[in-house]
């Protein structure tokens, strides 16, 4: 019998116990995977946007719209290649479903966001259709919108000149993301700012926030500083930061949820450590005479340590990988919905695998050391 065969035979000796322990490990890592995905969304969810763009918002808050007259001044800053603006539309679909819609300039959106992938003719249609709108793939799929549809979208902020808040837009394009991460974020809708600006009862001449594409991302800090000092002490003071920081700030608004998730992770892990650790300690305890016999037969202390540690590790690795795999499947199922873009991706797996290694050592090391230090005579005598 090989050594690994020996370890497996030991695991299979008490099948109920092994299966139950394994299942506890699976559930723990399932939870770990999902919660870690949420954690990643809060702490690093904005990583994928990269640092090539800056966002200029009103210093007092991004909900205060900046006026359009800042545009030429921002464009004039050296190093700024292209500027686009986006005005929050307050979109409401049907009864009371809030959607993320912005009014923007189609050509500038195309130039500043090459990550949005859409056929050229649809970009052209968006530029040329005043009442046009484009939406991300996730939104289109969710509501079953197709190109050519007239979609009624209400605004909870802006009435039209006739006082009605019910707007209708022509869907002229559906865009995808350039990779998986961008695809997960195709839950936005864009309308034509030129049309919006003319049709709205108030809010004319407002740009909202500006998004800047830089010719050299290394200059980001310096350009941000130049822009902000330009508008210092004016009624429209600005705050310019990288797109990543801006997104991060947005997520952080949700508050202490990340902290609470960490508390839960801690509670789960603590519980798990005790459960698995205890089971393994127990199985070592029960087999003390056997371990003594192994040593009598000539296995070294190190061999015995290895056996026990391998048993613990096998349990943690099999259970952990199953749990993480399950979490990945569930993540795909619920993460595709759009509003809650979590994904159990490589970052979660890396921490997950580290946790598996840590757990194996934590629960296996003590019983293993105990087993390796057994004195043969005492153990055989049952002392």
Enumerate binding residues for other proteins (CB under 8 A).
16-17, 20-21, 23-24, 27-28, 30-31, 34-35, 59-61, 63-64, 90, 92, 96, 154, 156-157, 163, 165, 202, 233-237, 239, 245, 248-249, 252-257, 259-260, 263-264, 267-268, 270-272, 274-275, 278-279, 281-282
Smallest distance from other proteins to CB 236, Å = 8
Question: From the CB of 62, what's the least distance to other proteins, in Å?
Answer: 8
Least distance (Å) from other proteins to the CB of residue 124?
Answer: 33
**Of 118 and 276, which has the nearer Cβ to other proteins?**
276
- Identify which of residues 2 and 96 has a Cβ nearer to other proteins in the complex: 96
Instruction: Work out how close the CB of 249 gets to other proteins at its nearest, in angstroms, rounded to a whole number.
Output: 4
Of 146 and 333, which has the nearer Cβ to other proteins?
333
Nearer to other proteins, 2 or 16 (CB): 16
Identity of the residue, 164 or 300, whose beta carbon is nearer to other proteins in the bound complex: 164
Q: Tell me whether residue 4 or residue 278 sits nearer to other proteins (CB atom).
A: 278
Instruction: Provide, rounded to whole angstroms, the least separation between the CB of residue 176 and other proteins.
Output: 28
Query: Shortest Cβ distance from residue 88 to other proteins (Å)?
Result: 10
| C-beta of 260 vs 376, nearer to other proteins | 260
Residue whose CB is less far from other proteins, 129 or 246 = 246
Contacts of 307 (CB under 8 A, 6+ apart): 3, 6, 7, 10, 294, 371
- Minimum CB separation of residue 353 from other proteins in Å reads 20
Task: Supply the minimum distance, in Å, between the C-beta of residue 102 and other proteins.
Answer: 15
Helix (H), strand (E), coil (C) string for the chain: CCHHHHHHHHHHHCHHHHHHHHHHHHHHHHHHHHHHHHHHHHHHCCHHHCCCEEEEEECCCCCCCEECCHHHHHHCCCCEEEEEEEEECCEEECCCEECEEEEECHHHHHHHCCCEECCHHHHHHHHHCCCEEEEEHHHHHHHCCCCCCEEEEEECCCCECCCCCEEEEEEEEEEEECCHHHHHCCCEEEEEHHHHHHHECCCCCEEEEEEEEECCHHHHHHHHHHHHHHCCCCCCCEEEEEHHHHHHHHHHCCCCHHHHHHHHHHHHHHHHHHHHHHHHHHHHHHCHHHHHHHHHCCCCHHHHHHHHHHHHHHHHHHHHHHHHHHHHHHHHHHHCCCCCCCCCCHHHHHHHHHHHHHHHHHHHHHHHHHHHCCCHHHHHHCC
């Amino acid at each position: 019998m090989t050594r690994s065969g020996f370890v497996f035979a030991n695991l299979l000796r008490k099948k109920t116990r092994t299966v139950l322990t394994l299942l506890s490990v699976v559930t723990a890592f399932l939870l770990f995977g999902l919660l870690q995905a949420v954690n990643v969304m809060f702490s690093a969810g904005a990583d994928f946007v990269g640092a090539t763009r800056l966002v200029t918002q009103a210093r007092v808050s991004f909900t205060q719209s900046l006026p359009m007259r800042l545009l030429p001044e921002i464009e004039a800053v050296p190093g700024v290649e292209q500027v686009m603006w986006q005005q929050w539309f307050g979109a409401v679909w049907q009864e009371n479903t809030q959607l993320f819609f912005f009014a923007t300039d189609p050509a500038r959106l195309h130039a500043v966001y090459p990550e949005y992938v859409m056929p050229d003719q649809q970009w052209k249609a968006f530029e040329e259709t005043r009442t046009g709108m484009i939406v991300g793939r996730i939104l289109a799929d969710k509501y079953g919108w197709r190109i050519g549809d007239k979609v009624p979208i209400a605004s909870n902020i802006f009435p039209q000149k006739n006082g009605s808040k019910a707007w209708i837009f022509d869907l002229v394009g559906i865009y995808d993301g350039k990779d998986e991460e961008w695809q997960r974020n195709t839950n936005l809708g864009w309308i034509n700012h030129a049309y919006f600006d003319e049709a709205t009862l108030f809010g004319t001449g407002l740009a909202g926030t500006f998004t800047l594409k830089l010719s050299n991302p290394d200059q980001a800090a310096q350009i941000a500083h130049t822009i902000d000092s330009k508008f210092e002490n004016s009624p429209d003071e600005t705050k310019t930061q990288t797109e990543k920081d801006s997104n991060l700030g947005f997520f952080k608004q949700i508050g202490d949820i990340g902290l609470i998730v960490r508390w839960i992770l801690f509670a789960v892990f603590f519980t798990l450590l005790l459960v698995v650790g205890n089971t393994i300690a127990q199985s070592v305890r029960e087999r003390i005479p056997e371990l003594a016999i192994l040593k009598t037969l000539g296995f070294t202390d190190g061999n015995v340590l290895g056996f026990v540690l391998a048993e613990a590790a096998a349990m943690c690795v099999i259970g952990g990988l199953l749990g993480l795999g399950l979490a990945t499947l569930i993540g795909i199922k619920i993460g595709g919905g759009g509003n809650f873009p979590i994904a159990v991706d490589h970052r979660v797996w890396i921490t997950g695998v580290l946790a598996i290694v840590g757990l194996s050592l934590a629960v296996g090391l003590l019983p293993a050391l105990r087993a390796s230090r057994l004195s043969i005579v005492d153990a055989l005598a049952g002392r």
